[in-house]
Amino acid sequence: MPKITIDLVERGTYANVSLWRISESEEELLSQKPFLQQYVVEMENMKSSARRLEYLVTRALLYDAVGEAGRIFHYPTGKPYLQDGRNISISHTKGYVAIAVSKEYNVALDMEYVSDRVCRVADKFLRSDENAETTLQKLLVWCAKETLYKLHSEDNLTFHEMRVENVPEVKEHDFGELYIENIRRNKQVKVAFIVTEGFILAFAKEKHAEMN
């Protein structure tokens, strides 16, 4: 089974976070999980096989998380949610899909595969007061900022309106937490992260009462 439990963050009542490493073909997924057949018509205009697989795996993860083949809707800000009001966040990168689902919390996650391509655009998202020297540190800052952007989607933050304080030194198989500031709100948010040889994943949550 390609689904992986992320032990780094809470599961169950408050937040359910799941990751899938895609090893199946589209045909194998449809055969293994017949309920996915209902999405075939929706995918007719998707020319990319990778995009079609990500679409199917997202729905498979959602089914495992909530026990039904729910529909995904979007707020005007672009943030996804489920019809029953549950919050959801989705991220995918080069052969992986991850989702977070919660009733009680606003949730957000982001994942990126490990590559030095992030170094070529570092000046676009790094602030001068962020001490990200290595490729993994830069990727971690990128993921943290993408996560905060999704968490506070109504703010439509720019990269420079977010600041990671004390970027940790990281290596493969590390996990931990960092704090990132929404400068516009003057608010600190805790972000949990995990680093593997293939990707970095970041996750954050907050109670609805904390949302502005």
What is the pLDDT confidence band of residue 18, given thresholds at 50, 70 and 90? confident
Q: How far apart, in whole angstroms, are the C-alpha atoms of residue 212 and residue 28?
A: 44
The distance in angstroms from the start CA to the end CA of the chain is 39
Q: Which tens digit of pLDDT belongs to each residue from 63-112?
A: 888 887 678 999 998 899 998 888 999 999 998 999 998 888 899 999 99
pLDDT of residue 14: 55
Q: And the tokens for 144?
A: 């943290």
Q: Which of 81, 145, 75 is nearest to 107 (CA)?
A: 81
71 and 119 share one domain: no
Q: What is the CATH number of the domain that holds 62?
A: 3.90.470.20
Identify the domain containing residue 29 by its residue range: 3-105
155: alpha, beta or left? (left if phi > 0; alpha if psi -120 to 50): alpha
Q: Which tens digit of pLDDT belongs to each residue from 194-212?
A: 998 889 999 999 986 544 4
91 and 143 share one domain: no
Q: Which tens digit of pLDDT belongs to each residue from 109-157?
A: 999 999 999 999 999 999 999 999 999 999 999 999 999 999 999 999 9
Which residues does residue 92 pair with via DSSP β-bridges, in sequence order?
A: 97
In the predicted model, what is the mean pLDDT of residues 36-56?
91
Decide which of 56, 72, 105 is a domain's last residue: 105
